[in-house]
Structure 1
Amino acid sequence: MSSGVPLMKPTLDGKRNAGLHLTEHGVHDSLRFGLCKVKENLSMVHPLENSEKHFLQNEEAARLTSLRNQQGIHAPMRLAIELKATRSIGRLPFLESSGLSTASLCGSDETIDFTDILGLPEFDERNLVPHVVMERKFGDF
């Protein structure tokens, strides 16, 4: 019986040969193909990297699956509709949205992470003239 929780088994996202052109002896031919930089072609270093990279998506999927198992299909669908509505709230270009309603629906307002302390770049203090920003948006300036 499946619990409905997504698997956390790591998979290899990267290339297996790391971009090397191997000869019949299993060695990269530098004279024909040039010097290679293996470090640039590697994409995964550790099996936990894939899990950490997709942690928030896996946590959200597990939460929605648990919600579906407990309350039925309507609960995750309603939550998805509410999230879509809160993410599409329009603001003027010189007024940034704090995303408080989205954070409260996702539950991220109850945790403290580095963005709460250091802040995000889109919330930096800027002295923008609203008229100039609107003219630039509409192509008048």
Structure 2
Amino acid sequence: MSNSLKIVPTNDSSKVTLKDTANHHGLHDTLKYGPKSLASQHNNQLPIQSRLENWEQTQDDLKLNLYRNIYGLHAPVRMMMERKIVAQNPHFPAVQQSNVHLDILMGRDTTLDVGDFFGDDLGPQFTDIHGDMERARNIR
């Protein structure tokens, strides 16, 4: 949670230079960053792409900051604690279920997404429920 009241995400389109990809000898590290042409295009993305990727996080930060300014520090802390508790699913870790409770707390309960119709992953998932439950028991 940042401390600003931004409505729109900032444009973080920083360019990668040869200085960023150099090793301790001052040469371009090809094994780590790829050829020079790929290293120079590493963060070359459109401004709208970075806005769309950071839109939900910026709106959530704005909402939490407004709650903090209006109600005090306890309001966003309580909301974040509720989200963290609801996001954990200790019962069946192998079964991927939609988390309706988290959607309600995040304010996404009235929106429809592609994942609501087709699921979050493509294709069938073969999971070992018994093995996952045994691993969950041994961790605690």
Q: Which bracket does the TM-score occupy, shorter chain normalised?
A: 0.5 to 0.7
Q: Which residue is equivalent to 1:11?
A: 12
Kindly state the Cα deviation for residue 103 of structure 1 after the two structures are TM-superposed.
0.9
In 2 relative to 1, CA 114–40 (structure 1 residues): closer, same or farther, beyond 3 Å?
A: farther
- Tell me by how many angstroms 1:47 deviates: 2.1
With over 3 angstroms needed to count, the CA separation of the structure-2 counterparts of 1:137 and 1:87, relative to structure 1, is closer
In the other structure, the counterpart of 2:101 is 101
Find the counterpart in structure 1 of residue 78 from structure 2.
78
- Kindly tell me the number of residue pairs found equivalent between the two proteins: 123
Q: Is the 8 A contact 1:94 1:130 kept in 2?
A: yes
1:110 aligned residue: 110
Amino acid at match of 2:11: P
Of residues 63-72 and 105-114 in structure 1, the stretch that sits farther from structure 2 once superposed is: 63-72
Flag the 1:37–1:85 CA change in 2: closer, same or farther, 3 A: same
Cα distance, 1:132–1:44 mapped onto 2, change above 3 Å: same
The code of the aligned residue for 2:58 comes to N
Distance 1:97 1:119 in 2: 9
Structure 1 position 13, deviation (Å):
3.1
Bigger Rg, structure 1 or 2: 1
CA distance in 2 between partners of 1:19 and 1:76 (Å): 37
Q: CA deviation at 1:38?
A: 3.9
Residue 94 of structure 1 contacts residue 133 of structure 1 at CA under 8 Å; is this kept in 2? yes
What CA distance in whole angstroms lies between the structure 2 residues aligned with 1:78 and 1:108?
18
Aligned to 1:42: 42
What amino acid does structure 1 have at the position aligned with 2:66? S
What stretches of structure 2 of length at least 5 have no aligned partner? 23-34
Residue deviations 1:17-69 (CA, integer Å, cap 9, x gap) = 59899xxxxxxxxxxxxx75348733222222222221111111011112222
Query: Are 1:93 and 1:133, in contact at CA under 8 Å, matched by a contact in 2?
Result: yes
TM-score if structure 1 supplies the norm length?
0.64
Percent of pairs with identical residues: 20
User: In the alignment, what sits opposite 2:90?
Assistant: 90
Indicate the SS of the match to 2:11: coil
**Cα distance in 2 between the residues matched to 1:137 and 1:128:** 14
CA distance in 2 between counterparts of 1:12 and 1:49 reads 10
**Structure with larger RCO (C-alpha < 8 A, sep 6+):** 2
Q: Could you tell me the TM-score, scaled by structure 2's length? A: 0.65
Are 2:80 and 1:65 equivalent residues in the alignment?
A: no
